[in-house]
Amino acid sequence: MFFQLPKELTSDKEKKLKLVDFKKFSNYKEWLLLDSTDEAKNQIDVVDTAYKSIISIKGKAYFSTPITSGKVLYDACKKRNINNIEDLNKFKNDKENFFNEVIKVNIENSREAINIISENFAGCVIAPSVFEAKKLRWSQNEYMNMWLGVIERDVTDIYVNKDFAFSDGATMEMTYSALKKAGLTNSYGINIKYINNENITLSHLMEEILNASIYISQFVTPKVHIDSLYKLRNLLYFKDSNEIISIFGDNLALIEDVVKKVDNYLLKNKEFIDIL
């Protein structure tokens, strides 16, 4: 059983989408560096080589965590009565308060989580919150390009906190991990878990991103979340439901339920989707 896309969510009225086109569409890494200089690209390659040099026969875990966003950011927005992009940008430019109310809290939370993961994971643990390239003036897209490369090539287990979907970065990383798990990236296989070792199914991942997207829309248009939901929805177009159940340990009834919700949400936000 394949979950056909609503005709409004595909430019091909015959719904004969090609898997090769979807793989190209799903490759975040392609467009993340469109505005980057050759110098920045070379710097990313050098750092990437350092991560390649980490060898672990027991696997490599990655903790996907927000730094400048996440539930902490939107809780702060609520306290400050921020409900538009202009006020949000003003808050972000208030360096001291933004650091104390968002970045500092996220870093402290990530340290606790990394300690928990390290105690339970036999291999090495990659903690992106420790890495920073301020002196190199990297953009958020350049950071993300590097981390997605690490996830695609090296990571065997990715962990998140319960509120991961309130972060654009964590949402992108988890979406990419789901595509990797389903064999739709250049490498195959990854365990997707909460820090308590609970496995995250595809239906649950989509539900979390959907709920966070609805919440975030109070403040800004959640374009990353809409795009991620569209990618995951297309995954269910290209992969048979029985295969999805096997790969993700999922439940058909739960998948059917979340597909209805996601299709409805995507149709309402079609203007923000790069339709395949």
Q: What is the pLDDT of residues 122-131, one digit of tens each?
A: 999 999 988 8
Q: Where are the domains of the chain?
A: 22-272
pLDDT value at residue 95: 92
Taking 70 as the pLDDT cut, the residues of the chain under it are 12-17, 20, 24-26, 29
DSSP secondary structure of the chain: ---PPPGGG-S-TT----HHHHHHHH-HHHHHTTT--HHHHHHHHHHHHHHHT---TT-EEEE---SS-SHHHHHHHHHTT--SHHHHHHHHH-HHHHIIIIIHHHHHHHHHHHHHHHHH-SSEEE-GGG---GGGT--HHHHHHHHHHHHHHT-SEEEE-TTGGG-HHHHHHHHHHHHHHTT-SSS---EEEETTS-B--HHHHHHHHHHHHHHHTTTS--HHHHHHHHHHHHHHHHS-HHHHHHHHT--HHHHHHHHHHHHHHHHHTGGGS---
pTM of the model: 0.91
Q: What is the pLDDT of residues 74-128, one digit of tens each?
A: 999 999 999 888 999 999 999 999 999 999 999 999 988 999 999 999 999 999 9
pLDDT value at residue 134: 80
